[in-house]
Structure 1
Amino acid sequence: MRYFTKQQGQKEAVPVDLESLGQGRFRLTLNGKTFQVDALPLENGSLSLLVDGQSYNVEFEENGDEIGTLVRGQVNRTDVADERRLRMRAAAGGFTVEGKQVILAPMPGKVVKVGDEVTEGQGLVVVEAMKMENELKSPKAGKVTEVFAKEGTPVENNAKLIVVE
């Protein structure tokens, strides 16, 4: 099946082809390169992936079409759509982000850095969790209009951190 993915800061969606080979095995094609993937679900809801011989533990958090992943201490937010949903979005204006955008904490942690002026893809806040720093980036160019957390304060999962307009 073909999906289209777009990470924050990317201008265009990237096609990803995913073919099930059965028994937790997949063939994934991204940017013309094909990968063999073995996936094993773990008890905590995460996946253990073996991608062309490299091992990864991946934690997921879904929010609508957006999927947050935690891989090797790095948090990524990716918008994922199949071809049908992509056509529907194109009719409604595509992947552009407009209006008020609220940045949420992807996990419990501590705010360690806050920014004021932003461009699309610019780092806004660094949330520290389990001795790892996770930079949250702006989904659009704009002005920070509200800051809900102060540097050094702990935050809960999905806590409002910043509003960008």
Structure 2
Amino acid sequence: MKDYSLKINGQNYDVRIDDVNENSTVAHVTVNGTPYEVEIAGDKGVAASKPQVAPAPREADSAKITPVTAAPSPRIAPAAPTSGYAVKCPLPGTVLGVKVAVGDKVSTGQTLLVLEAMKMENNIDADRSGVVKEIFVQQGATVMEGDNLVIIE
């Protein structure tokens, strides 16, 4: 078991590689508390070897590091609000649509965005009235439980 702290495109990730089976191409990985079963690309079966991970030099610019074969994730790093009320994501999912824009006046119960989670569409509604100060997500973004979605002042 190994723990890593990675910063990719400005987003911090705590990664734990729990188990790599030498007889297959499957690894058990935990990213920010969420478990994943990861298939290692390449040779199958006994010929597969453990992935070799080396930490980046401290002076490396993480903004210039991009995956070779993977497309960049549409996930936007949730920032801490400076002021106002943060509408947080109630469960992990994918943003299907954002129904408001920065500067819009919203009222209590108004739908801010639509989130697909567990094969269902969920409306994320405003808990209070105010003006949308900031939007942290875009359509197609993957969000985790507790992520900031919208700031209302």
Name the TM-score, length of structure 2 as normaliser.
0.41
Per chain length, whose mean CA-contact separation is higher, i.e. which structure has more relative contact order (CA < 8 Å, sep 6+)?
Answer: 2
Structure with the larger strand share? 1
**Larger Rg: 1 or 2?**
2
